[in-house]
Structure 1
Amino acid sequence: MSRGPQSRRADWVQRAEPVEGVERFEAFFTGNAYASHRHDTYAIGRSLAGVHDFQYRRGMRRSLPGHTIVLHPDEAHDGQAGAEGGFRYRMIYVEPALFQNVLDGRTLPFIEHGISTDPRLLAATETLLQPMNVTLDPMEQAEALAELATALAAVSGARPAPASRDFASARRARDFLHENALRVVTLDELEAVTGRDRWSLTRDFHTFYGTSPYRFLTMRRLDVARRMMEAGTPLASVAAATGFTDQSHLTRHFGKTYGIAPARWLQMARGADD
């Protein structure tokens, strides 16, 4: 972990060990934090200090201390300080599949403008947005995720999916992509596994998991790539091992997904000074 705000005022990031697929971090930024990017998880957080500005769905949003940030999967966003003194916040990344364990095929909750002051969301995120030095028990986290999914559905008015959507087929596709993330997967294979034509399957997948099958596959490769990078594997070797054509291909997808270059991400992940 990097050093906290009492020891320096430069940008810093603290990360907790992931638990059952949920990533948690706390960060402080003084200027432009990251460029426009999108990922296939929910990004749910709380502003702790300062003014956090970000472009989201064709508008500038402003989060203040106490606000709950809820960014929908696959929606582009950036981040920067909206006032002198920088901004500090905590965030979790949650795979839509974890919410679907509770929603069971309803449409994914969407929070208008990406910011909420609803007390139900404030209460439902308390456990998950604790300081990074607090280790969450897997059962505690699972219960908190269920509470959060329920609150998101209530606040957003999540509805049943259209009758034409097939949750079971989307779930089979997701499981297959998870198991085969580091090899070439064809649409013919997905059609055979799910029993759905590719166009219907793409609609199903986006409804229930918030992204396309290809984006989901790319993100799983990037998950592996990040772990390899943290272990010290050279970037060219990482690209070859995770299904990218070369280092530049990996770097391009990394920037689109996280808003920063791999070297900068690795520096922050290791807690290095700027």
Structure 2
Amino acid sequence: MGFEERCEIASLSGAAENGLERLCKISGDGIRSAPTEAGIERIEANFQGNGFSPHRHDTYAIGLTLHGVQRFKYRGSERASCPGQVIVIHPDEVHDGGAGTETGLRYRMMYIPPEMIAQALGRRTLPHVCSPVLTDPVFRKSLIEALQDLEAEMGDLRVFDSLAELAACLNRFSDDARPMGRALDWPVLKLCADFLREHAADPIGSADLEAVSGLDRFSLSRQFRAAFGTSPHRYLVMRRLERVKIGLADGECLAGAATANGFADQSHMSRHFKQAFGMSPGKWRQLNAAIA
């Protein structure tokens, strides 16, 4: 089935009035972001050539290629996703991304905190999907529904319905050979995550988290990674970078955004920003302004 046919199916299912029918056209590099809800980010991006240099984030990145070929390096191999295929990138996995052909690339993606996936699955440890590119009509349909209406909020009911469906899809494709691991102390882990989020601009050390959790730093590190897909330090850095993005979108200067959010200076912030998002903060602001 060609992508033109898939666009028609999307329109017949009600996606046309929400703007998905225009996704068969590419007008230039840019990123468009939906309002963040429950910690979930949704974006639409289009690129000619390279989009992102190697980077990693602390969320699941789940999305759909809509036009062109999406090529990326992941776990030591070259990958490619064609229109209608699902992409699944695990937390803290290094990857890049860009257009694989001269026709350019358009895709939509959701960035979901891993603890929300674990909670949707009954507080199990995280599902592990071996292949980053999947062809599955159920998964694709769930993503189309979740990635519509980028201009508006989804609302609580739709957010958690989508989470339940997407978590079930991830679980269906997960590697069942992986050990389930020990039970996690979710109330304590949530306290730690909330503390890191609320005090992101402050200097935080292991002793602070030990005081909050009552766990030694090694037990906390192991459990935190199992629940959130990343280390407490990476989680803290990503919360700081979230604040930086908000500041930049509101017109704050780079140096001001850095010092206001716990970074030593602009260079320190920029280095972490590129490692997390695959581009400099200045480039990110430029691309967002291009589709604003």
Q: What is the TM-score normalised by the length of structure 2? A: 0.86
- 2:204 is the counterpart of 1:185: yes
Q: 2:95 aligns with which of 72, 77, 85?
A: 77
1:80 shift after superposition: 1.7
- 2:248 counterpart residue number: 229
1:104 shift after superposition: 3.5
CA distance in 2, matches of 1:15, 1:173: 28
**Structure 1 contact 28–87 (Cα < 8 Å) conserved:** yes
Matched letter for residue 200 of structure 1: S
- 2:91 is the counterpart of 1:55: no
**Structure 1 contact 63–115 (Cα < 8 Å) conserved:** yes
- 2:237 counterpart residue number: 218
Q: How many residues align?
A: 270
- 1:111 counterpart residue number: 129
**Structure 1 contact 169–201 (Cα < 8 Å) conserved:** no
- 2:60 counterpart residue number: 42
Q: 1:6 to 1:215 in 2, by over 3 A?
A: same
Q: 1:145 to 1:272 in 2, by over 3 A?
A: closer
Q: 1:73 to 1:7 in 2, by over 3 A?
A: closer
Of residues 168-177 and 128-137 in structure 1, the stretch that sits farther from structure 2 once superposed is 128-137
CA distance in 1, matches of 2:26, 2:147: 23
- 1:44-82 superposed Cα distances (whole Å, 9 cap, x missing partner): 100111111000111111101111001001111100211
- 2:138 counterpart residue number: 120
- 2:210 is the counterpart of 1:200: no
Residue 115 of structure 2: SS of its match in structure 1?
Answer: helix
- 1:205-247 superposed Cα distances (whole Å, 9 cap, x missing partner): 1111100000000000111111111111111111111000001
**Structure 2 contact 210–216 (Cα < 8 Å) conserved:** yes
CA RMSD of aligned residues (A): 2.2
Of residues 184-193 and 209-218 in structure 1, the stretch that sits farther from structure 2 once superposed is 184-193
Q: How does 1:11-50 map to 2 (within 5 A)?
A: 11-50=29-68
Residue 146 of structure 2: SS of its match in structure 1?
Answer: coil
1:192 shift after superposition: 1.9
**Structure 2 contact 67–105 (Cα < 8 Å) conserved:** yes
1:168 shift after superposition: 3.8
Matched letter for residue 208 of structure 1: A
1:181 shift after superposition: 1.2
CA distance in 1, matches of 2:169, 2:93: 21
Q: How does 1:157-196 map to 2 (within 5 A)?
A: 157=175, 161-163=180-182, 165-196=184-215
Matched letter for residue 68 of structure 1: V
Q: 2:154 aligns with which of 132, 136, 158?
A: 136
Unaligned runs of at least 5 residues, structure 2: 1-21
CA distance in 1, matches of 2:25, 2:173: 39
